Structure 1
Amino acid sequence: MSARFKAAIPKLASADIGRSLAFFEQLGFASIAAYPDYGIVERDGVAIHFWLCNDPRIAEATGCRIHVEGIDALFDAYAALNIIHPNDPLSDKPWGMREFSILDPDGNLVTFAEETA
């Protein structure tokens, strides 16, 4: 019998679960679960989980990628929130993706990407 992968769900470090959920709600995600030490948001079938972590270095060294459709409109919406990472504005990458990144309040790098080819 062979195994088949169905999904990958990022699990990001958070110093404050409520703050993380509220931040991602600003980005159009809905809070699905909120516990003192764990939280989940979801948008268009894409989920992100958060675990309570008191070491800020962990979040600052963590990130995830989310593939989207309509990257230009998403960039405009997030740019209006003034959350675009200054070192990764919207641009076409040599690996065939158009992408940009943001930092969440804990320093997790979240990259949004759309295929260009």
Structure 2
Amino acid sequence: MLKNIHPKLPMRDKAITREYYQNKLGFKVLGNTDYEGYLMLGKDHIEIHFFEFKELNPRENYGMVYIRTDDIEGFYQSLLEKGTAIHPNGPLEIKPWGQKEFSILDPDNNLLTFGQNIS
């Protein structure tokens, strides 16, 4: 039985990634060990892991994650209040497939799409 998934995304700079996810998205660092070139972050019931890829060209990064939520409007508003940039093509809206969604890009151009079922 599959129970959880923890995506691993590339990052160029651990300090920048940690700061962005903590201060802009409300994530917390997981674990008691600071692994060189690796970062584990969590919020509520999800985890995202990051591996160091210093040579990453953000314009060539296709890392993406779809994250479901049960309070998309509240989370979206909290991001706006923190000054978190919303993807120019991904504002909060209802999609034809029955999801209310929005998207952001992190400092390394990883696409995070947040969605909530509206039916």
Q: Is the shorter-chain TM-score for this pair beyond 0.5, marking a shared fold? A: yes
Deviations 1:22-60 (A, max 9, x none): 111121110114422100100112000000012225872
Deviations 1:50-85 (A, max 9, x none): 000122258721110110111011111112314100
The equivalent residue for 1:49 is 49
Gaps of 5+ in 1: none
The equivalent residue for 1:86 is 88
RMSD across aligned positions (CA): 1.5
Percent of residue pairs identical: 33
The equivalent residue for 1:10 is 7
**Using a 3 Å threshold, how does the CA distance of structure 1 residues 57 and 104 change in structure 2: closer, same or farther?**
closer
Q: Which runs of 4+ in 1 moved over 3 A?
A: none
2:80 and 2:68 map into 1 onto residues whose CA distance is 18
Aligned-partner SS, 1:83 = coil
The equivalent residue for 1:97 is 99
2:35 and 2:106 map into 1 onto residues whose CA distance is 19
The equivalent residue for 2:36 is 36
Gaps of 5+ in 2: none
Aligned-partner SS, 1:35 = coil
**Would you say the 8 A contact 2:58–2:108 is kept in 1?**
no
Aligned residues: 114
TM-score normalised to structure 2 length: 0.88
Aligned-partner SS, 2:30 = strand
**Would you say the 8 A contact 2:99–2:117 is kept in 1?**
yes
1:59 and 1:8 map into 2 onto residues whose CA distance is 24
The equivalent residue for 1:22 is 19
Aligned-partner SS, 1:105 = coil
